[in-house]
Amino acid sequence: MMKRPDLRNGALLSTVLLTMTLTACSSDSNSLSDPLDGGGNTTSIDDDPDGETGGETGGETGNATAGTDTGTDTGVGTDTGTDTGAGTGAGTGAGTGAGTDTGTDTGTGTGAGTDTGTDTGTDTGAGTDTGTDTGGGTTTGTDTGGFTPGELPPPSVPELDDPDAPPIAAQNPQDPFGSFLETDEEQAVAGGPPTQPKNLRLDLVSNNWAEFSWAPANDDGEVVQYNIYRSDGVTYEVRETYEGQDELAGGTQEEIEKDWITTSFIDCNFTRFFDVVHNCADNQPDPGRTYVYYVTAVDDEGQESAASEQLRITYLENSNAPVPLYRDLYKGENDTFVQDHDLSAVDYWIEDFDLVFSDEFDGDEVDPEKWQTSLTWGDSRIINGEQQYFVNSQRDPDFGYEPFELTGDSLIIKAAPVPDDLREKLPPVCDEEDRLGVDRCEFLSGALSSHDRFQFIYGYTEGRFRVSGTPGALSSFYLYHRYAGNGVNFHAPEIDIIEYLGENPFGDPDAFQTYHFGDVNTGITRSAPTMSYAKPGGGTYADNNEWHTFGVLWEPQLVIWYIDGREVKRMFGPQVARQPMNIVNYLVAGSGWAPTPDVSDESIFPLEFEADYIRVYQRDAFQSTATFGVP
């Protein structure tokens, strides 16, 4: 039976200093020294001051030790929204499996031939489940989950394609995010082509997209283009500008600039390039298929460089594909948990985890030992063109609007138009012009954040929610870094567990999952394509006032998203977050993504986003990373 420690036990609630010596325990034990001893001060890096792109890195000051800073947050904040951008071709389906060949093959050939790969796993389908219930009251309404283990097929641990293959090497502990790999020491030859692009490497891979990077080439003139060759004949051109670029959406133009500055590329970013520039509608990689890539540089005289070394990428199957053996700075060499389990359903593996954090929302107020009613950046900024103001009811209980209602066994976040008599209480940021042209602070709402109360590295996070189906509402639940890190440890990660639009003006009413991280050398936020998952059987996740669970398993180099206990998306690679994260839960009312709620229709207010519980589970190997308490 799964162990359920008493969360009120003083040993758990006392502040635990994060040493990153992950204590050796049981068969998945680790015995590691601190691999990310940063030191120094974090710096403010804000590549998107108006917050359009989503997942923007925060700039905070403090000391970065073992991947966490203990200093003071200067409140630059992050953009957590997800932009559907230039197309709505986000892949919808039954999730992704793990397993990828991230090795780099040497040589300069075209890598002819495509290895289609094999899915040896069992697709458990798209059922529903509310996850593992460890207690916490009763709630009314339709419950779509609660399947018993007997309704699941027996777990099927996928076999590795090559069990004898050596493990993928761990990152350089002095350069965990590849900062040193962005330099080409080779000197350009006068009058010759650019130098060969160096260090072509995988950053992240999912079932129908992968992100990779390379070092900028040198030239005696100017490099103006990179050609990316894929082994099935697809060729992409990466340039600083494209013909007709001014007619593209603003987010698409920003993505073009990011690719150029960071010398990185997503094959294929359907959020931004569904039917423009890279034409992802036609060029999307196939799940489970292996492709070989190489990159060349072209200068202003039209000379093309020698090809980079080849990069071989196997895209993840849609469910329960094998995870290759790999080494990681935060994982013990004998830790094979992700290889030894069928990870396609939570009930297959949750017994290996302990409950380390839980709020069942069965009290009569927001628990101040677990939550703050503000975000890390407070009132200093507004992100994503959002139109609500988050009332900090802990700081200002007499504000005049209480966004949190405790029912006795759930918490409801409520959003409503700002009454005229409360407008004078709004902060100055509400009066600033928003570059998206929306009116700021037209609504009042609430936000919960566990920063400076609870944070952790690696584990399973799950919430059971009724998302809002009202047009203009955006229900959000995600993990967010407390401090961005500095120097070679800068990363500023964010894992969006669920973002749900009451009405999606860009496409279908799906549940959205996204991942963001900061580029270590430029500070630019790099975002995954906006992934989506339709409700099995049709309808929406807000139908019939239903409860659904939304969760994410976060392991070294692996992220798996779950809805109702079943895997829906998966991501693998060295750019997966490895810094302490806190939990964020809030309700947006109107934004650059969500339409403005209709204030003339009084019947839709208040907008509501209801939580039954929020829980975090960890394996023994990572429980020493959890920190509790008010600083």
| Residue 69 predicted with pLDDT over 60 | no
Q: Rounded to whole angstroms, what are the CA distances from 236 to 86, 112, 268, 280, 282?
A: 18, 17, 10, 11, 12
- Between CA 68 and CA 38 the distance in angstroms is 8
Could you please report the per-residue DSSP string of 339-394? HHS--SBGGGTGGG-EEEEEE---SSS--TTT-BSS-TTTTS---TT--EEE--TT
| Residue 142 predicted with pLDDT over 60 | no
- Between CA 348 and CA 156 the distance in angstroms is 9
| Residue 143 predicted with pLDDT over 90 | no
The residues spanned by each domain of the chain are 10-20+42-97+339-628, 179-314
How high is the pLDDT of residue 596? Answer: 95
Residues 418-477 pLDDT 10s: 999 999 999 999 999 998 889 999 999 999 999 999 999 999 999 999 999 999 999 999
pTM reported for the whole predicted model: 0.80
| Residue 121 predicted with pLDDT over 90 | no
Strand 443-445 versus strand 388-390 pairing type: parallel
**Ranges of H-type helices in 214-266:** 250-262
- CA-based diameter of the chain, in Å? 75
> pLDDT: is 142 or 183 the higher one?
183
What's the fold here for domain 179-314? Immunoglobulin-like (2.60.40)
- Between CA 583 and CA 376 the distance in angstroms is 11
What's the fold here for domain 10-20+42-97+339-628? Jelly Rolls (2.60.120)
- Between CA 350 and CA 618 the distance in angstroms is 9
Helix (H) or strand (E) holding 271: helix 270-273
Q: Which of 303, 293, 278, 292 is nearest to 217 (CA)?
A: 303
Phi, psi of 10 (to 5 degrees): -60, -30
Residues 610-621 pLDDT 10s: 999 999 999 999
Exposed e or buried b for every residue in 525-545, given b needs 16+ CB within 10 A?
bbbbbbbbbbbbeeebbbeee
> pLDDT: is 343 or 37 the higher one?
343
Query: What is the average pLDDT across 165-178?
Result: 95
pLDDT band at 66 (very low <50, low <70, confident <90, very high): very low
Of the ranges 170-179, 219-228, 244-253, which one carries the lowest mean pLDDT score? 244-253
Q: Which of 608, 602, 605 is nearest to 405 (CA)?
A: 608
How high is the pLDDT of residue 53? Answer: 34
How high is the pLDDT of residue 44? Answer: 29
- Between CA 562 and CA 555 the distance in angstroms is 14
How high is the pLDDT of residue 593? Answer: 87
Residues 578-601 pLDDT 10s: 999 999 999 999 998 899 999 999
| Residue 126 predicted with pLDDT over 80 | no
Residues 294-303 pLDDT 10s: 999 999 999 9
Could you please report the per-residue DSSP string of 72-96? -------------TT------SS--
- Between CA 513 and CA 509 the distance in angstroms is 13
| Residue 250 predicted with pLDDT over 50 | yes
Calculate the CA 325 to chain-centre distance. 23
Instruction: Let me know: does 479 contact 492? Beta carbons within 8 Å.
Output: no
Q: Which of 281, 211, 279 is nearest to 242 (CA)?
A: 279
What residues pair up with 444 in beta bridges, in sequence order?
Answer: 389, 416
- Between CA 19 and CA 193 the distance in angstroms is 49
Residue type, 619: R
Could you please report the per-residue DSSP string of 507-560? S---EEEEEEEE-TTT--EEE---EEEPPTTSS-TTGGG-BEEEEEEEETTEEE
Per-residue tokens: 571: 């991501």
How high is the pLDDT of residue 129? Answer: 38
- Between CA 35 and CA 219 the distance in angstroms is 36
- Between CA 297 and CA 559 the distance in angstroms is 33
- Between CA 338 and CA 523 the distance in angstroms is 31
Residues 380-414 pLDDT 10s: 899 899 999 999 999 999 999 999 999 999 999 99
- Mean pLDDT, the chain, as a whole number? 82
Residues 194-243 pLDDT 10s: 999 999 999 999 999 999 999 999 999 999 999 999 999 999 999 999 99
Per-residue tokens: 63: 């000391």
Calculate the CA 410 to chain-centre distance. 26
pLDDT band at 508 (very low <50, low <70, confident <90, very high): confident
Residues 598-608 pLDDT 10s: 999 999 999 99
How high is the pLDDT of residue 10? Answer: 34
Count the Cβ atoms, other than its own, within 10 Å of residue 603: 6
| Residue 630 predicted with pLDDT over 90 | no
Residues 144-155 pLDDT 10s: 444 444 489 999
Query: What is the average pLDDT across 3-9?
Result: 35
Residues 26-63 pLDDT 10s: 333 333 333 333 333 222 223 333 333 333 333 333 33
In 130-267 the beta strands, taken as DSSP E runs, fall at: 198-205, 210-215, 223-230, 235-239, 264-267
How high is the pLDDT of residue 559? Answer: 98
Query: What is the average pLDDT across 320-348?
Result: 95
- Between CA 164 and CA 153 the distance in angstroms is 29
Instruction: Let me know: does 40 contact 486? Beta carbons within 8 Å.
Output: yes
- Between CA 468 and CA 473 the distance in angstroms is 6
Q: Provide, rounded to the nearest whole percent, the portion of the chain with pLDDT above 70.
A: 76
How high is the pLDDT of residue 26? Answer: 33
521, HSE (Cβ side, Cα atoms, 13 Å):
16
